[in-house]
Amino acid sequence: MRWGMLINLNKCVACYACVIRCAQEYILPLGIMYGKLLISETGEYPKVTQHMYPVLCNHCKDAACVKVCPTGATQQREDGIVWVDQNMCIGCRYCLVACPYQVRTYYSGDEEREYFPGQGFTEWEKMRERLYPLQTEVVHKCNFCKERIDQGVKRGLKPGVDLEATPVCVNICPAKARYFGDLDDQESEIAQLISERKAVQLHPEHGTDPSVYYIAGIEEAPVTTTYFGVSIYDTSPELTTKRGALKPGTK
């Protein structure tokens, strides 16, 4: 068994519902996002193409972050989910450097801000300490909503089919662009779609074998995404190697 996600870029409308729902589920403070939406453009006016790419932790089968963690805080479960044990993390941030996809966040907690400045924390924000407490000076990331998966499986539910056992970003997508399920089950909807639609992984040249696949367009995307001229997401092999990650194809 290996849990994975499939995102159909032909269906994605860049509505940010997945980003907002994830932040809502985990009551994330400002500046922390487990899922992101990258938007870039190629071409010149009047022939311009807009690219929209939802990204999150790829839960790689051969995860570089797991290999470099000195304390074993970053772990991989038997079902493929990569997660961080906050009690073991020492905040060294080796995993941030090693991750080719830049989807981890270090949370210092030094400047925790309210969603509504000057009005204090809302009741929703206060619930974070009770439901999903975030330790400071450690690394945080998407965990495929493993709590929902585990609780759902215990109740006999099937992740990717039953909403209560499926990641919230998949459930909330109004365009139904996201799919979730067991990549090892060739009869599952996600496995069949990956095969039939020739879905691709984001930058497979890094040799990490991601568990997140995309339908259409990702191979045509520029490896560098800019925001007002500033590079914010460069997953090119050259830069990744410079940042200390494993060289493409190495074990």
Average pLDDT of the chain to the nearest whole number: 85
Is residue 71 situated within a structural domain? yes
Mean pLDDT across the stretch 224-241? 42
Is residue 247 situated within a structural domain? no
pLDDT at 42 over 70: yes
What is residue 71's predicted lDDT score, i.e. its pLDDT? Answer: 97
Is residue 96 situated within a structural domain? yes
Tokens of 140: 């945080």
Could you tell me the pLDDT band of residue 166, with boundaries at 50, 70 and 90? very high
Record the pTM. Answer: 0.84
Residues sharing a CB contact under 8 Å with residue 169, sequence separation 6 or more, in sequence order: 18, 19, 21, 22, 35, 54, 56, 145, 178
CA 84 to CA 70: how far, in whole Å?
Answer: 12
pLDDT at 10 over 50: yes
Q: In degrees rounded to 5, what are phi and psi of residue 229? A: 85, -5
What is residue 217's predicted lDDT score, i.e. its pLDDT? Answer: 57
Q: Using alpha carbons, select from 55, 89, 62 the residue that is nearest to residue 212.
A: 55
Percentage of the residues of the chain whose pLDDT score is greater than 70: 86
3-state secondary structure at position 241: helix
Is residue 249 situated within a structural domain? no
By the 8 A CB rule, do 232 and 101 touch? no
CATH at residue 196:
3.30.70.20
Could you tell me the pLDDT band of residue 131, with boundaries at 50, 70 and 90? confident
What is residue 247's predicted lDDT score, i.e. its pLDDT? Answer: 35
Is residue 151 situated within a structural domain? yes
pLDDT digits (tens, 9 = 90+) for 181-191: 999 999 999 99
Cis peptide, bond prior to residue 46, ω within 30 of zero? yes
Is residue 136 situated within a structural domain? yes
Is residue 224 situated within a structural domain? yes
By the 8 A CB rule, do 99 and 245 touch? yes
Is residue 248 situated within a structural domain? no
Q: What total of structural domains would you count in the chain?
A: 1
What is residue 129's predicted lDDT score, i.e. its pLDDT? Answer: 84
Give the structural domain span for 21.
3-242
> Cα angle vertex 116, ends 110, 122, to 5°?
85
